Structure 1
Amino acid sequence: MKKVAVFGKPANGKSTLSKRLASATGIKLYALDSILYEQNGQEIDRESYEEAHENILSSEEWIIEGFGPINSLNSFHRRLEEADTLIYIELPYLVTYWLVAKRFIKGLVKKPEGWPDGSSILKGTLNSYRVLKLCPQFWNNGFLQKLEKLSENKTLYVIRSISELNNFIEENVQ
């Protein structure tokens, strides 16, 4: 485990798991949202994002958490190709909708884990719901089949429950 891609739907625990994984392994964590957004919450230009992403991919070890720009599948696919470990968090949609709502409520008091500085919790929550509506077009059985084929020479973990998510580090990291 040297190059790890952690991905899945919004609010599925990617940031929390990635921080715990980075702490357990000592591998540097790169949260894509903090690369994609400036301090004021504005998205950076695509060229700057792609350059930063490629620089990370060229390093010897990394944990990259997140999906990245929704209209830049190329960086997502490059990350999957370069990674030796893929962690796909695929919680049920009902659970995910609840987790987005929970993150919003908690976010009114404290900035959510992995949330870019300066970003509006309300705008982010509404965007998460918009993205969730689109997710079945991407995060589906066809994607999972492609992922399984891509991961023939990699380690693939598919996390399907809160319990699996909470126990992942203890069960999979020595």
Structure 2
Amino acid sequence: MKKIAVFGKPGSGKSTMSKALALATGIPLYQLDSIVYEPSGKLVPREMFDKTHEKILSGETWIIDGFGPIDSFHQRLDAADTLVYIDLPYLMSYWFVTKRFLKGLVVKPEGWPDGSSVLKGTLESYKVLRLCPKFWNDDFVSKLQERSNTKEVIVIRTVSELNEFARQNVK
């Protein structure tokens, strides 16, 4: 594992898992929300994002957490040697988004862009969760599994599997 893409629905534990992996392995972590958004919460200009994203992908090692623009997502899937898809049940993702919001009233959530509104981000997460079944579905998982011939593909479907993955990979 040298180039790791961690992705999934909002509230699936991507940022927490990615940070733990980075600490355990020493591989640099890039959280997409911090690259896609300015500290004010506005989107960075697309050209700036693309330049930053390409620079990261050209590195020898990285962990990238998040989704971002669809074409950049596919570039990451191609460039990574390890794909970690966290596919928790929707009810669990809704609970984790809500929990992140409540906790965010006191402390900035893991991987949250500096200066971004936790309330706006939470509402956006709920909106995205409603749309997720159109993208994160069995067809996507099948296409992801096709990549397992050339890279390690890990699909995590439960909190128990998430904890087990962390136990095995974060020492």
Whole-angstrom distance in 2 between the partners of 1:150 and 1:48: 29
Q: Where does the alignment leave 5 or more consecutive residues of structure 1 unmatched?
A: none
Letter in structure 2 aligned against 1:59: G
- Superposed, 1:122-133 pairs within 5 Å as 122-133=119-130
* TM-score normalised per structure 2: 0.96
Instruction: Answer yes or no: is the 8 Å Cα contact 1:24–1:169 preserved in 2.
Output: no
Q: CA-to-partner distance for each residue in 1:95-137, whole Å, 9 max, x for gaps?
A: 1111111111111111111111111111001000100011000
Which residue among 125, 150, 153 is the counterpart of 1:153? 150
Find out whether 1:30 has 2:30 as its counterpart. Answer: yes
CA RMSD of aligned residues (A): 1.1
Residue of structure 2 aligned with 1:94, choices 69, 91, 96: 91
**Residues of 2 paired with 1:82 and 1:55: CA distance?**
12
Most deviating of 37-46 and 131-140:
37-46
Hey, what does 1:105 align to over in structure 2? 102
1:21 maps onto 2:21 in alignment: yes
- Deviation of the 1:173 alpha carbon: 5.6
CA distance in 1, matches of 2:148, 2:44: 31
Please report how far the alpha carbon of residue 77 of structure 1 lies from its aligned counterpart in structure 2 after TM superposition: 0.3
The sequence identity of aligned pairs, in percent, is: 64
The corresponding residue for 1:136 is 133
Instruction: Kindly indicate whether the alpha-carbon contact (under 8 Å) linking 2:20 and 2:170 is maintained by their aligned counterparts in 1.
Output: no
- Alignment length (residue pairs): 171
| Structure 2 match to 1:119 | 116
Q: Structure 1 residue runs of 4+, over 2 Å off?
A: none
Distance 1:153 1:173 in 2: 24
Whether 1:46 aligns to 2:43 is: no
For 1:75 and 1:53, how far apart are their aligned partners in 2?
8
